Amino acid sequence: MKAQGQDTSAAFWSGFVSSGFAAPGSYGEIGGTLVTIVIGGTTSVISGGKFANGAITATYIHLFNAWGGFRKLAGFNKARGKRGTFLDKKNLMVAHEGFILNDGTVLGYFDDSMIRIDIGASKADYSQLLYYDDETLLQAIGNVGSFGQYDALHNNCQDYVSRVTVEYRKLGGTHDQPK
């Protein structure tokens, strides 16, 4: 099948390979974008298409994905803790954890026991970002639903993100951890 003069299998492969192997969490946001372009274009050429078409397809897929990360709490100059540490595994980092959707909306679970938009926050406020597929992430958030009464030690924003991430993986979603 051909679409706009290009075999659709080349477009499929450039999008598939670039989304699976060039997620920006592995290379930083700008580096991830550049890697996505190169891998998408190269894959398109290998599968019989044009480099430019593959690069554009991969870039669009790259733009329609979400991020998850930490931001500092009020009274602190930065988020305290690192991914993979004891505090992270026990969901006790001194930081707010949430999700940044592809449209810039920041969602999280808060001390008012509500899952809501983090008003005034942006992607720039978050660190240690993970890369998520937006559509699968939103489905996982919907499947988890309400999260009960907030408790800073036993039912906090990090517990919520962990629960959504488990559901996200059950739905087949993957994400890259920053290096």
| Least confident stretch, 28-37, 108-117, 169-178 | 28-37
Q: Tell me the pLDDT tens digit for each residue of 35-86.
A: 778 888 888 888 888 888 888 777 766 655 666 777 777 666 667 777 777 7
Stretch 101-116: mean pLDDT:
89
Identify the residue with better confidence: 51 or 7.
Answer: 51
Looking at every residue in the chain, the average pLDDT score rounds to 78
Paired tokens of 171: 């739905």
CA angle 62, 63, 66 (to 5 degrees): 90
Q: Tell me the pLDDT tens digit for each residue of 16-27.
A: 666 555 444 455
